[in-house]
Amino acid sequence: MAASNLEGVLLGMGNPLLDISAVVDEAFLAKYDVKPNNAILAEDKHLPMYDELSSKDNVEYIAGGATQNSIRVAQWMLQTPGATSYMGCIGKDKYGEEMKSAAKAAGVTAHYYEDEAAPTGTCAVCVVGGERSLIANLSAANCYKSEHLKKPENWALVEKAKYIYIAGFFLTVSPESIQLVAEHAAANNKVFLMNLSAPFICEFFRDAQEKVLQYSDYIFGNETEARIFSKVRGWETENVEEIALKISQLPLASGKQKRIAVITQGADPVVVAEDGKVKTFPVILLPKEKLVDTNGAGDAFVGGFLSQLVQGKSIEDCVKAGCYAANVIIQQSGCTYPEKPDFN
């Protein structure tokens, strides 16, 4: 596909968060009542954690947020400036400025809504033995309004995009915005993609999730989220392949032809359910000593997958690219990557 056709082809909307990432110990997790390898929203008891992480010698600040990570990785894989765009809400502060320069450096066209009152959202990334736990303090990210989306210069990004990706986390912020773009995608024969994103989304935002999943041509998730999704619906199966199949067969909104479910399982094969069939694809195995941290692995997988999908490649190629991107990301700290991809 020629570079000119790729301009603005992929749009993401979500919660832009500045990752405050540090290696900690089990005692740190216990102190703040954090489970390993989970993703949660911050409660009052978690708030002192951000300063404590910031004071560590090994702390790193990385522009993050699930959707923004996926969009940055897709942009990196595509190597075509402006192929991707992104919307979300930040504060008017130094973290917000850092976010803007990071998006610009990544080649992403970012139209942030800047909130006057709330600080830019942050995400505590606690790394123990290479596994990450995420505690998101949404702050400004929680303030995104559909009014911003409806402004002509922002809606233009929606009009231009042929693929729209939104992580489930955004369901807690602006279901109205998601609905607007989901309906636009259905009416204009565009591809709309969602992510299950976290067990708590599947458990506590089921209605909002259900409403928008009917518009989703692709649903991504990992094995933990898939099992919770199944449990909440009383499907009485823990088998990831069966669950993927059931997800792919959930009801579709009018204008939608079929759905593909893509479930990752860490080092185990990726499960893809499509047209009543299930396929599995092996991931690229990484020796334990090369693992730096798993933060952003799932986001990177989606980014890699999207980079091929927008070019009309096969599902197999999409999964391959997803596995490649995830493999690169887990060898780096946070959702970061080398200058150029080495994927062919």
> What CATH number is given to the structural domain containing 296?
3.40.1190.20
Strand partners, 192: 164
Q: Which domain holds residue 79?
A: 10-16+65-120+139-330
**The pLDDT of residue 3:** 59
- Segment holding 1, helix H or strand E: none
Question: Across all residues in the chain, what is the average pLDDT?
Answer: 93
Q: What is the pLDDT of residue 219?
A: 98
Asked, for residue 49, whether it belongs to a domain, the answer is no
Task: Please state, in angstroms and rounded to a whole number, the distance separating the CA atoms of residues 214 and 121.
Answer: 29
CA torsion sign, 172 to 63 to 80 to 329?
Answer: negative
The verdict on residue 289 lying in a domain is yes
Cβ–Cβ under 8 Å, residues 216 and 197: no
> Could you tell me which residues are beta bridge partners of residue 40?
135
Q: Is residue 335 part of a domain?
A: no
Listed in sequence order, the residues at least 6 apart from 190 whose beta carbon sits closer than 8 Å to its beta carbon are 161, 162, 163, 164, 184
Write out the two tokens for 129: 């033995």
Long-range contacts of 145-149 (CB under 8 A, 24+ apart): 145/89, 145/113, 145/174, 145/177, 146/174, 146/176, 146/177, 146/180, 148/87, 148/89, 148/111, 148/113, 149/13, 149/87, 149/174, 149/177, 149/180, 149/181
CA angle 194, 252, 184 (to 5 degrees): 60
Terminal Cα-to-Cα distance of the chain (whole angstroms): 15
Q: Which residues are catalytic?
A: 299
In a domain, 147, yes or no: yes
pLDDT, residue 202, reads 95
Which residues neighbour 118 within 8 Å (Cβ) at sequence distance 6 or greater?
91, 139, 140, 142, 143
Low-confidence ranges of the chain (pLDDT < 70): 1-4, 334
* pLDDT score of 292: 76
Answer yes or no: is 267 within a domain.
yes
The reply to whether 342 falls in a domain is no
Element containing residue 257 per DSSP (H, E): none
Q: Are 173 and 142 in contact (CB under 8 A)?
A: yes
- Asked if residue 252 belongs to a domain, the reply is yes
pLDDT one-digit tens code per residue, 12-45? 999 999 989 999 999 999 999 999 888 899 999 9
Residue 211 lies in a domain: yes
Task: Give percent of the chain with pLDDT exceeding 90.
Answer: 81
pLDDT tens by residue, 222-275: 999 999 999 999 999 999 999 999 999 999 998 888 999 999 999 899 999 999
Residue 4 pLDDT: 62
Cα distances from 215 to residues 7, 165, 182, 185, 309, in angstroms, run 24, 12, 6, 8, 18
pLDDT at 290: 86
- The whole-number pLDDT of residue 343 equals 83
Number of domains in the chain: 1
Q: How far apart are CA 246 and CA 117, in angstroms?
A: 43
- E strands, the chain, where? 10-13, 17-23, 39-41, 60-64, 84-91, 109-115, 122-128, 131-137, 163-167, 191-195, 218-222, 260-265, 268-274, 277-281
CA 158 from chain center: how many Å?
18
